[in-house]
Structure 1
Amino acid sequence: MRAEEMATEYGPGLRWHALDHEGRALCGRPLNSKSILTLVSALDREDYCRRCMKDVAAAIRASLVGAPSDAQHGERRA
């Protein structure tokens, strides 16, 4: 995961992106790998990239094919 700074109507915020194995955002958005977050004040908002999270959810669903039904529903085994 990598965060990028974003401006909100009330102040600074972060948007988190999921990365592939080569360090690129799953949504295709170019992210500066050298950017350093320098926030002067408290964050107004922290969010996740919806396009990245959609791809993450699809990968998790695909990995659960053939898994026990309790794992598919997010239940824990004792």
Structure 2
Amino acid sequence: MKVIEILKLNRELLNICRAVGIRMDDVRYIELYNDYNRLLAEGEKTSYIVAALAEKYGVCERTVYDLIRRFKADCNLLAEE
């Protein structure tokens, strides 16, 4: 299958994602966000969670904070930025 074929199959969804400000690279961090929610539900402090996830996923703490902010955001708010 060619790249253009995949793009054509998913054109509508990809256009919606782009329009509301979703970054395609963020798909890599879905598990990070799932881990964040699990640790938060277990009562861990946010600063500890961020440090642990930054180390586990090999990103800086600022990136983890940014991902959490983006993933929590309402899609309509992202489109306005």
State the TM-score, normalizing by the size of structure 2: 0.27
TM-score, with length taken from structure 1: 0.28
Q: Relative CO higher for 1 or 2, CA cutoff 8 Å, sep ≥ 6? A: 2
Bigger Rg, structure 1 or 2: 1
